[in-house]
């Protein structure tokens, strides 16, 4: 009897840098961490579940600098936002197919921390992997983090990957004997 693959949900988002949509550093690192540390060469033992949550601005307008003159302009804006998420998921799905690991990908709208936890409850992955932007303690207190919320509230084991691999500085302590 064949064993079901381990299902790992990776929450991904796009970079806030203007231009062509591409993955954020933290979500790309979380995805890479999943492949390097878990999947490795056991591609048939895993299934990657890719979730992108599209955040809708409170006023519903993502493009502040745009001018809207007709109903078609709003339709174009909605299509543009949808295609941004599709380009993002296409990047990760292509990476999965390159190495031969099965995957599923989908887009939801809403507040990322709430939507990720709802999707974990609905889909029931074996593990949730999230990226972390690397905010300092002060920022975390006032801003909070999606990954921090999800690690506490998701109904499955969770892992948070740092945006950059942790590099510890090498400190050389040189002491000189002193005479008292």
Q: pLDDT tens digit string along 114-160?
A: 999 999 999 999 999 998 765 555 444 444 588 888 888 899 999 88
Residue 48 host element (H or E):
strand 46-54
Q: What is the mean pLDDT of residues 65-93?
A: 69
Better-predicted residue by pLDDT, 1 or 98 = 98
The closest of 54, 58, 63 to 12, measured between CA atoms, is: 54
Instruction: Tell me what the pLDDT averaged over the chain comes to.
Output: 77
Tokens of 8: 């790992």
3-state helix, strand, coil in the chain (%, to 5): 40, 20, 40
Q: Is the pLDDT of residue 72 over 90?
A: no
Per-residue pLDDT at 170: 42
Q: What is the mean pLDDT of residues 54-75?
A: 60
Buried b (16+ CB within 10 A) or exposed e, 88-105: bbebbbebbeeeebebeb
Instruction: Say which range, 41-50, 54-63, 88-97, 111-120, has the weakest mean pLDDT.
Output: 54-63
Judged by DSSP in three states, 141 sits in: helix
Residue 51 Cα distances to 11, 84, 140, 178, angstroms: 5, 14, 23, 60
What's the predicted TM-score (pTM) here? 0.75
When pLDDT is cut at 50, 70 and 90, the band that residue 34 belongs to is very high
| Residue 41 backbone phi and psi in degrees, to 5 | -105, 5
- Which range, 104-108, 123-127, 175-179, is most confident? 123-127
């Amino acid at each position: 009897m064949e064993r079901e693959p381990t299902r790992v949900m990776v929450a991904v988002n796009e970079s806030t840098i203007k231009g062509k949509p591409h993955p954020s550093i933290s979500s790309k690192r979380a995805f890479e961490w999943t492949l390097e540390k878990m999947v490795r060469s056991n591609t048939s033992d895993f299934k990657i579940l890719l979730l992108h949550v599209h955040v809708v601005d409170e006023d519903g307008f993502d493009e502040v600098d745009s001018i809207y003159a007709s109903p078609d302009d709003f339709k174009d804006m909605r299509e543009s936002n949808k295609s941004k998420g599709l380009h993002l998921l296409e990047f990760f799905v292509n990476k999965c197919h390159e190495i031969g690991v099965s995957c599923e990908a989908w887009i939801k709208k809403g507040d990322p921390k709430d939507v990720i936890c709802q999707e974990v409850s609905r889909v029931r992955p074996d593990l949730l992997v999230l990226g972390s932007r690397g905010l300092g303690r002060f920022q975390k207190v006032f801003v909070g983090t999606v990954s921090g919320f999800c690690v506490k509230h998701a109904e499955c084991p969770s892992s948070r990957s740092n945006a950059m691999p942790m590099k510890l500085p090498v400190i050389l302590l040189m002491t000189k004997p002193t005479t008292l």
